[in-house]
Amino acid sequence: MKKLLALCLMAFTTVTMANYTLVVPQGPGGGLSVWSQIVATEMNKYLDEEIVLKHLPGAGNIAGVNEWHESLQEDSKVMVATSGGNAIKFLTNPSVVYDYDYDAIGIMNLNIIVAKRVGTDGSIFPKGLGHAPEAFAIAMLFCGPDMTMEQYKACFKENVNWVPGMKQKEFRLAFKRGETTGSRENPAAFKKHIKPVIDAGEAEMWFHHGILDASTGNHSDDANFPGYQFEILFEEKWGVAPSGEFYDAYKLVKSVRDGLQKAIFIGKWSPHAETLRAALEQVANNPDSIAAIQKKIGKYGWTIGEAGNKHVGVIMSMVTEDAYRTLIDFTQDALGEVVEYKESLVK
């Protein structure tokens, strides 16, 4: 009992002595939580005051970020960590009140990698709002260019078994067993869960979405998986580069999700933003620190400070009326998600 009380006291002391707080909108052990812990540990090496995580789970990562947006950001020492899931819900979920109008400490611009079982077309795929970019890409790869929205919807429904009710751990196992024929992962999880299946000769790389270039708004091939970018494969298969409203909607949704896959923000005009950014710069320049982060995420870089703000600005400028309406329309009708078009987001 004394031991426990001592532990509780230590925990209490650690929290009350914390000078910076990083709000994590999920419980301990989740992907974003583990990433946040690793980043905070590395940043603490370069800060006089310690960053301590505060977990605020609920509503699929929405509740914590909403709470930070509405009240906690007023404390200039409280940051928030967000995921690609948060970003995609920002576009589609009516319960979201956060808006990304903050100061970026740092953003990791990542990618999602898609694989299929050998000898299949990958069309048995796990459903999920976070998988919307994969659905767009699969629809275009299967159905080709120059189709109307209604044709894309019909073609997708006819060709793809969009399997509902699967959590991440379930669809990983289902793919390994061959119950689903397509699957997708972030780079670190891909290495862990899909690469062994590929190495066993049971699966193969299908495509990835590419890396967002914040200066142009376009995507380039991922050096970790060269030659498998969607745009390259589409052109190889159909003889033309992808274009049109449907492709613009795809670019929007993949940019929002992958471009904001892992991010740390602080309230605008926080006097501590520069200190924190400087610490993150040091993390990014220290090979040991960056190796610790890349061990979890893969070899992807940071966009820090003002460059991060610009990166967010480019993503938000892609929310045009046509692309956004197409995104909502397809996500609702073909993917069966309950989503909302938010007039206020349109540039």
Instruction: Count CB-CB contacts under 10 A for residue 158.
Output: 10
Q: Which range of residues in 61-69, 70-78, 104-112, 212-220 is near other proteins by CB under 8 A?
A: 61-69
Q: Which range of residues in 50-58, 220-228, 304-312, 319-327 is near other proteins by CB under 8 A?
A: 50-58
Q: Which range of residues in 23-31, 99-107, 115-123, 208-216 is near other proteins by CB under 8 A?
A: 23-31
Nearest distance from C-beta of residue 96 to other proteins, angstroms: 11
Asked whether the beta carbons of 251 and 202 are under 8 A apart, the reply is: no
Give the tokens for residue 237.
Answer: 């298969």
Alpha carbon distance, N-terminus to C-terminus of the chain: 59
Residues 292-311: x where in contact with other proteins by CB under 8 A, - otherwise, as a string:
x--xx---------------
Asked whether the beta carbons of 84 and 258 are under 8 A apart, the reply is: yes
Among positions 9, 240, 241, 338, the unique one binding other proteins when judged by CB under 8 A: 338
Nearest distance from C-beta of residue 115 to other proteins, angstroms: 16
Q: Which range of residues in 7-15, 212-220, 221-229, 317-325 is near other proteins by CB under 8 A?
A: 7-15
Helix, coil or strand: residue 162: strand
Nearest distance from C-beta of residue 305 to other proteins, angstroms: 27
Q: How far is CA 237 from CA 65, 111, 242, 307, in A?
A: 41, 22, 11, 36
What is the C-alpha separation between 122 and 143, in angstroms, rounded? 14
Concatenated DSSP letters for 42-89? HHHTT-SS-EEEEE---TTTHHHHHHHHHTGGGSTTEEEEEEHHHHHH
Asked if 71 is part of the footprint of other proteins (rule: CB under 8 A), the reply reads no
Instruction: Count CB-CB contacts under 10 A for residue 99.
Output: 11
Asked if 177 is part of the footprint of other proteins (rule: CB under 8 A), the reply reads yes
Q: What are phi and psi of 333, to 5 degrees?
A: -80, -40
Which residue, 35 or 234, has its beta carbon nearer to other proteins? 35
Give the tokens for residue 215.
Answer: 């200066």
What is the C-alpha separation between 331 and 293, in angstroms, rounded? 33
What is the C-alpha separation between 259 and 87, in angstroms, rounded? 9
Asked if 17 is part of the footprint of other proteins (rule: CB under 8 A), the reply reads no
Nearest distance from C-beta of residue 163 to other proteins, angstroms: 5
Asked if 58 is part of the footprint of other proteins (rule: CB under 8 A), the reply reads yes
Among positions 9, 17, 19, 27, the unique one binding other proteins when judged by CB under 8 A: 27
Q: How far is CA 46 from CA 41, 177, 266, in A?
A: 10, 45, 18
Tokens 């498998």 sit on residue? 228
Residues 123-152: x where in contact with other proteins by CB under 8 A, - otherwise, as a string:
-x---xx-----------------------
Among positions 46, 57, 144, 244, the unique one binding other proteins when judged by CB under 8 A: 57
**CB-based contacts of 195, cutoff 8 Å, min separation 6:** none
The residue among 230, 257, 239 whose CA lies nearest residue 114 is 230
- Scan residues 191-220 and list those touching other proteins (CB under 8 A): 191-193, 195-196, 199
Asked if 261 is part of the footprint of other proteins (rule: CB under 8 A), the reply reads no
Asked if 3 is part of the footprint of other proteins (rule: CB under 8 A), the reply reads yes
Asked if 34 is part of the footprint of other proteins (rule: CB under 8 A), the reply reads yes
The residue among 287, 319, 288, 281 whose CA lies nearest residue 303 is 281
Interacting residue ranges for other proteins, rule: CB under 8 A: 1, 3-4, 7, 10-11, 14, 27-30, 33-34, 37-38, 41, 53, 55-60, 62-63, 66, 95, 124, 128-129, 161, 163-167, 169-170, 172-174, 176-177, 179-180, 188, 191-193, 195-196, 199, 292, 295-296, 336-338
